Amino acid sequence: MHITVIGAANIDIKAKSKAKIIPGGSNPAEVRITAGGVARNIASMLAIKGAQVDLITAAGDDPLGALLQESCRGLGINTDAWIIKNNMSTGVRLATLENDGGLYAGFNATTVPESIKTAEITKHKEIIRKADLLILDLNLTEKILGVALDLRGERVKMVDAVSVEKVPRIAGLLDKIDLIKLNRLEAERLTGINLDTKERVKQACYNLVGRGVTRVFITLGIAGACAADRNHAIFVPALPVAMQNAAGAGDAFSVGIALNIDKDLRSQAEHGVALAAEHLKKLVR
């Protein structure tokens, strides 16, 4: 399966103090540097699962950008369509953690994908058009989202909503999307519906279907997920897991539905839930 992913790639830096943090002091810490970003995370999981993946993103012409690009290539991701910005720095997320793992402070400098211009994305129209599936994350501007969707035409298109703050970017483009994955809060923001009951979750799904989306997937944490098309809405329960790290579980869910676009609605949702559970850690035996 050939999939093109467009969106954010950045460097994640986590510094975990070895003792209680002393503000203003020099605190011994364990530092971990990894590749991140929603689009990159999705692309990496797809590549690990055997898909042929093109990743289109923007990065700075700096050592961190080179490190990020090399890490993607090491997974077999095609980075030939990367947009390198000479006047910008590669996106970075920095988190400082207390010795118990709690967040002390976080810093984000990840706006470089929002600098992508129409000509820069149009240049790669063949990569966008020829893939079996196009996946967009909402770290792109509304304008570039629209350009990419138009370049794709009638072929299958999927969106990962990314965050509550960014989900309004897709509000005017829903009739161009085949599949959308949101979490509970993102769905509430996009529909204006409080998802405090199963009926309201279904109502939100039908709201989005009525606005043009072919299939809607809303993740609900320990309550599993809801999936809907124009015919029906179904709930898929979460799988029991010994959770080690929740980060990236939503990206894994997106990968599960992306790899199963030829399946029926329930099977597709079940694959999303299963891959999210696999990412969280091993199933409880």
**Cβ neighbourhood burial of 42 (10 Å; 0-12, 13-18, 19+):** buried
Assess if residue 1 is contained within a domain. yes
pLDDT, mean over the chain: 92
Distance CA 69, CA 66 (A): 5
Average pLDDT over residues 197-201: 96
Residues 169, 275: one domain? yes
What are the pLDDT digits (tens) for 129-160? 999 999 999 999 999 999 999 999 999 999 99
Domain boundary among the residues 113, 148, 164 is at: 113
Q: Is residue 137 part of a domain?
A: no
pTM of the model: 0.90
**What pLDDT, in 10s, does the model give residues 5-24?**
999 999 988 888 999 988 88
Residue type (1 letter), 20: K
Is residue 119 in a domain? no
Residues 282 and 164 in one domain: yes
Shared domain for 82 and 161, answered yes or no, is: no
Based on the fold, state whether residues 92 and 168 are members of the same structural domain.
no
Gap between the Cα atoms of 237 and 148, Å rounded = 34
Taken as a whole, the chain contains a residue count of 285
Domains identified in the chain, total number: 2
Distance (Å, rounded) from C-alpha 48 to C-alpha 46? Answer: 5
Same domain, 190 and 252: yes
169-191: pLDDT as tens digits:
999 999 999 999 999 999 999 99
Whether 164 and 280 map to the same domain: the answer is yes
Q: What is the DSSP letter of 283?
A: B
Please indicate, yes or no, whether residues 160 and 263 belong to a single structural domain of this protein.
yes
For residue 232, give the CATH number of its domain. 3.40.1190.20
Question: Does 86 lie in the same domain as 177?
Answer: no
Given a contact cutoff of 8 angstroms between Cβ atoms, the answer to whether 55 and 43 are in contact is yes
Tell me: do 161 and 281 sit in the same domain.
yes
Asked if residue 282 has pLDDT above 50, the reply is: no
141 occurs within a structural domain: no
In-domain check, residue 179: yes
Q: Calculate mean pLDDT across residues 29-37.
A: 89
* Domain housing 101: 1-113
**Gap between the Cα atoms of 73 and 285, Å rounded:** 36
Same domain for 275 and 160: yes
Render pLDDT for 78-92 as a digit per residue (tens, 0 to 9).
999 999 999 899 999
Tally: H helices and E strands in the chain:
9, 14
